[in-house]
Amino acid sequence: MSPRSSLLIVIGLAAVLLVSLREIGRRARQRFEVERNLASLASAQGEHHRRWHVYASKLGDRGDSATIMMFPDSGVIVTIDQADSSGWSAVGTHPRLGKVCRIYGGTAPHDPRITKPGDPACF
């Protein structure tokens, strides 16, 4: 193998490594954004319950007994799965994340892999 061929292989491997590291960093940022949005939802649900004595079942642009005024960050999708007076659960994701993050509060049915209310977990 010529020195030129060896150099081209090393440059190619370095490029692949750089692309892989950028992808890992991008996914970590997206996961952080989803988890941050779910944590904000948990805080908003607590405030909502104190005011209305029920957890909100949807996100929207007006606050009432069923709706939390919350807008997820760009690209983040948050959906409240279940909500009543005793608890709530929600999922969050990003189209390019490749994982779903979940959170719950109160006594709502939830994924058993989530061990602490109000703390998002991604699977």
Domain positions in the chain are 3-122
Q: CA-CA distance, 47 to 102, in Å (whole number)? A: 20
In DSSP terms, which residues pair with 96 in a beta bridge? none
Q: CA end-to-end span of the chain, whole Å? A: 45
The owner of tokens 């642009």 is 61
CB of 114 closer than 8 Å to CB of 93: no
Q: Indicate the pTM of the whole model.
A: 0.81
Q: pLDDT tens-digit profile of 70-116?
A: 999 999 999 999 999 999 999 999 998 889 999 999 999 999 999 99
Token pair for 76 = 């983040």
- Rounded Cα distance between 42 and 96, Å, is 23
